[in-house]
Amino acid sequence: MWTAVRKGSGLVVDERTDLGRGANDDVIATDVRRGGEKITRIVNVYEQKDTQSGERERPVRKLNWQRVIRQGGTVLAGDYNAHSKRWDPRCQVQRNAAFWEGVIDENPLDIGNDGRPTHHWTREDQEGESVIDLTLANRPIVKWTILADDHATASDHEVIEWEVGVDRQEEVDHERVVGWKLAAMTEKDAEAAEKLWMELANERAQLDPECTEDEVEQEAAWCQEAMSSVLDATAKNIRICARSKRWWNADIKERRRTVRRERWRRRNSEEAGRAKAELQKSIWQSKRKMWDDYLQYLMGAEVCREARYGNPRAGMTVEASTDREGKQANTLLEKEEMLRHKSFPPNGGDQYYELPPAESALTRVTEQAVERA
């Protein structure tokens, strides 16, 4: 079973392998979105028996379909191998349909099929037809049809084409606020922020020396919430989206405008080429600076991430690394030694650690014992 996306369609595609885990690849869930549209989840379904394990329950029925079906935008399409009068007017005996009828009613889903047969079969010189290829959606199905003639295949299943309505979304739906531009605040903004903070603080009673731990936690939560509201009112938000880059800056933005302007003019290709080269140089320098700054402040497990980019390869240029003490590592051996020193600092010879007594596995661990260890 396959799901394909046309190249150049402009769609942002995310294959949700976590939703179909445990169904033996009989369920393929894909989230698709075009700019300015809400996410539509397309779920390709093929219900069949598990011939490998021999279990009677079909793998697709083990999934949590409440989680698979995204509220407000899901299309389920495929071969359900289920017979029901709800989607097949010629059905004489219902078979394997109770489960899917429950899924349709609980979510709820519209049936896009119009009653035409989607499956033609021949057994023992007898021919028949049925509706087992379904299109279910919790968005309006604006088109459903069977493609024939030029689209005919050697399969005994028909080729189905469907369309669903897509809702637009505001820019804020796919942008996330991650902070505030404090450096861009003016003195007037800072004064307004201080004034607003004082107004909020004066309305709240101060803690006394006999306050409880819960009261301190509540006060800390209030301070965080109040500070966020003050900055929201006086500072500009920093937002990120799918196009956000950490290395993006004002210089790159201006050079990009220059490249576009030279391309539109189409007067001097040499000038356009020079502008593009300057843009690429600025991007490389900004990325290089971001990476160097990251290496300067490695903490804990982050030191292991640098090692992934330090493996020797033919023709590779080794960049120097600098630790917090200012010591540089130029060769691969020096970098490995630096990483080992950061990950596993040497133990002082004058330190003595008292080992716990034997048979003390259930002794409570204290912070002091952890610090000594």
SS3 164: strand
Q: What's the confidence (pLDDT) of residue 174?
A: 47
Instruction: Give the 3-state secondary structure percentages of the chain, helix then strand then coil, rounded to 5.
Output: 35, 20, 45
Q: Which amino acid is at 208?
A: D
Phi, psi for 296 (deg, rounded to 5)? -70, -25
d(Cα 235, Cα 183) in Å, to the nearest integer? Answer: 9
Per-residue pLDDT at 175: 55
- What's the token pair of residue 312? 């020797």
Domain ranges of the chain: 12-171, 175-239, 245-296, 298-343
Length of the chain: 373
pLDDT for the residue 303: 58
Paired tokens of 4: 């394909």
Q: What is the pTM (predicted TM-score) of this model?
A: 0.47
**Domain 12-171 classified CATH 3.60.10.10?**
yes
pLDDT of residue 270: 78
At residue 314, the pLDDT reads 47
The count of other CB atoms within 10 Å of the CB of residue 46 is 18
Question: Which tokens in the block code for residue 219?
Answer: 């006060």
Per-residue tens of pLDDT for the chain, all 373 residues: 788 888 777 788 888 887 887 777 789 999 888 766 778 899 999 988 876 666 667 888 888 888 889 887 899 999 999 999 999 988 988 999 999 999 999 888 999 999 899 988 877 777 888 999 999 998 889 999 998 777 777 788 989 999 988 765 544 444 566 678 888 889 999 998 999 888 888 878 888 888 888 888 888 888 888 888 888 888 888 776 656 677 888 888 888 888 877 777 666 677 778 888 888 899 899 888 887 777 776 655 555 555 555 555 544 555 677 777 788 887 777 877 888 777 776 666 555 666 666 665 666 778 888 887 7
Query: How far from chain centre, in Å, is Cα 199?
Result: 40
